Structure 1
Amino acid sequence: MAREIALLTNPTSGRGKGARYRQTALDRLRDAGLVVRNLEGRDADEALDLARASVADGVDSLVVCGGDGLVHLATQVLAGTGIPLGIIPAGTGNDVARYFDLPRADPLAAADRVIGSHTRTVDLARSGSRWFVTVLAAGFDAIVNERANDMTWPRGQMRYNLATLLELRTFRPLPFTLDLDGVALRRDAMLVAVGNGTSYGGGLRITEGALLDDGLLDVVIISSMTKPKLVRTYPKLFSGTHTSVAEYEHHRVRSVTVAAPGVVSYADGERFGALPLTVTCEPASLVVFA
């Protein structure tokens, strides 16, 4: 029997790339003999319901055409099931696609990864009933994300750049309390990031060195620094060379609890939850076409 997959699309991702890439990928998948359920939710809740219903019906895999937000949604359905996730990258950041070296501007090549059926099994991070693939932002980065989400202009990456400048005017280091596998730690810090993977925000390698299949979380702390130094350090995140700054601190743990006043964390670019949060690594929880 032909493989049956569900293709779930966010048509507005990547300024409309989702809709364009969907049709290209859909044609390639069907030409290869796959039976494809073509799904599109009117909002995130409906998309989640469609994904859950398809998995419950027994599809062989769930393929998403969109960005990290849609991957995040699919992960809530697929975590621990063994059902593979396919990704047709069509978002702005596409950090999960970067992890698996998936083509980010070629939906045909991305669809071929699904057709080829080669998979990789990786860890996930979990807090309560929610899961994430990339990095939990808790600090200045999360506050910037929160502000950017409230802005309607400008679009794309420039919105986050403007939100960063606006927050820099008033931001002060936050008093963090952490529990790292039972070891208590207190720091006044600019941010704390909890990484399952290495990057967020479209290639910002905040948790440089993180591995997707080591059974551990990478916790990075950037302690108090001057605003000019923070601005100078920011470009280093794209290459992972921020690890050389004196304020950088890195821990590998199985579980971490992060607390700081007034912070709403983000993970996979999505609003995740107010601190305090406990995050654990759940080994071998997600299968991905790679």
Structure 2
Amino acid sequence: MVDAMAAPDEPRDDAESPEQTPADAPEEVKADAAAADGSSEHFHAARLGDDVGDRPRKDAPDPKEAAEPDDVIHQPEDVSPDSSEELPGKTQRVDAEGDEAPIDAEDTQKKRAALVYNPTKVEPETLRARVAELAAGADWAEPLFYETTVDDLGDDATRAALDEKVDAVLVAGGDGTVRAVAEALTSTGVPLTIVPSGTGNLLARNLNLPLTDTDAMIRATFEGDVHAIDTGIARIRRADGEIEEHGFSVMAGMGLDAAMIQNTRDDLKKQVGWVAYVDGAARSLVGAKPFRVMYQLNGHRLHSAKVHSVLFANCGALQGGVALIPDASIVDGRIDVAVLQPTGVLGWLGVWRSIVWDNSVLRKFRAGRRVLERRKDTSVRYLRGTGIELATAPAQPIELDGDEFGEATRIYTRIVPGGLAIALPKGHDVSTL
């Protein structure tokens, strides 16, 4: 676990100067600011009671304990499942032919892998057969196969596989399936193999994995390299006071980015892939309004700002080669934060220029970086630290790795350094991670 109250980490771009709590700030936020009185220690204690830094409240489940099969943190009811509505809502294991198999597997003296897959995003028969064939070629036991269901995005299935003492887990599905499986594997030491499939493949893209070579990734399970990467934890507080913890591999967000995902049409997403998010963005921008937040990096002072969105990143690349946070690293033990606070149409043009042009083009060249050093633009503000907590009222939509997770009034995100073991093709270049 990361020490949430570790020594201060300076933001890359110093956060806006502390200011008096605005008159239009929500009453809950005003109470937070009054309790803080300029002290980060009092800020944490006043806002979350016993939930100071990484010390969970008595009513908040500990992440390690929550990984046990009998004490599972389930997805909130308002989360749209990343699986077929026709599938039963339970952990489901099948055999190599796709027929239902007992949840308890037979013992074996050989190494064994488990494949967790979303049957709506892959060709199950082909994938199961290839994983079984390559496992046999490596002298491993027959793999265990788990299909995601309405109520199990993959985390319960992964915990069932861990109960069987598997030596590796493969995941095939959308970003939501990868997120759920990675959450269950965090801090276990069991390697995860990502078989690219689905719409985004954001974690695979940030790891520079071959997106079209399924065999290369399956082989990595049995003969590849294992590399430790960071993973994220988000502690979410709902408007009714309920607290949940969930993992994320790429990024979490509150505000407009989550609304954009909520407004993305499922049918369009199936037809054109990630480009469908452009439609969601256009429809979200029509009614987009800024909202007041209080935020604090671990070890830093409390700040107030009006924002449209706040993004918490473990790694920074999006689809289409867009570098949302170009300096974010998946192996540095730090969380990178992008605060979007545009003003008017020109402000949104500044956001577009910063993300699409500055980060994805200019930063690649020395002359471009010199231009950026002289430019002053507050439309997007970048921060970095070991963790950050944010409070707002009323509740705002949130997302984790591109999946909507309802609404929350507070979110605390942190990084687990080296918390996830990833299987990579032999000799895969990790120098750019």
TM-score by length of 1: 0.87
Quick check: 1:32 aligned with 2:149? no
- Corresponding residue for residue 6 of structure 1: 114
Match for residue 160 of structure 1 among 277, 287, 300: 277
Query: Equivalent residue of 2:302, what SS?
Result: strand
Superposed, 1:182-201 pairs within 5 Å as 182-200=300-318
Residues 121-179 of structure 1 show CA distances to partners (whole Å, capped at 9, x for unaligned) of: 12221123321111112221111012226x54463334322111111222122322211
Instruction: Please give the alpha-carbon distance, in whole angstroms, between the structure 1 residues aligned to 2:413 and 2:215.
Output: 36
What's the C-alpha RMSD, in Å, of the aligned pairs?
A: 2.6
**Are the structure 2 counterparts of residues 92 and 19 from structure 1 closer, same or farther at C-alpha, using a change threshold of 3 Å?**
farther
Match for residue 139 of structure 1 among 230, 233, 255: 255
TM superposition shift of 1:75: 1.8
TM superposition shift of 1:202: 6.2
TM superposition shift of 1:37: 0.9
**Are the structure 2 counterparts of residues 112 and 85 from structure 1 closer, same or farther at C-alpha, using a change threshold of 3 Å?**
same
Instruction: Please give the alpha-carbon distance, in whole angstroms, between the structure 1 residues aligned to 2:306 and 2:163.
Output: 46
Instruction: Please give the alpha-carbon distance, in whole angstroms, between the structure 2 residues aligned to 1:29 and 1:240.
Output: 42
Percent identity between the two aligned chains: 24
Residues 185-240 of structure 1 show CA distances to partners (whole Å, capped at 9, x for unaligned) of: 22222321111111345654222211112221111112224346155556438827
Q: Which has the larger radius of gyration?
A: 2
Structure 2 letter corresponding to 1:147: N
Aligned residues: 287
Instruction: Please give the alpha-carbon distance, in whole angstroms, between the structure 2 residues aligned to 1:44 and 1:37.
Output: 20
- Corresponding residue for residue 267 of structure 1: 400
TM superposition shift of 1:22: 4.9
Structure 2 letter corresponding to 1:169: V
Match for residue 257 of structure 1 among 389, 396, 409: 389
Quick check: 1:114 aligned with 2:221? yes
> 8 Å contact 1:193–1:207 — kept in the other structure?
no
TM superposition shift of 1:269: 1.5
- Corresponding residue for residue 55 of structure 1: 162
- Corresponding residue for residue 226 of structure 1: 344
**Are the structure 2 counterparts of residues 232 and 169 from structure 1 closer, same or farther at C-alpha, using a change threshold of 3 Å?**
farther
**Are the structure 2 counterparts of residues 257 and 113 from structure 1 closer, same or farther at C-alpha, using a change threshold of 3 Å?**
same
**Are the structure 2 counterparts of residues 125 and 88 from structure 1 closer, same or farther at C-alpha, using a change threshold of 3 Å?**
same
Query: Equivalent residue of 1:285, what SS?
Result: strand
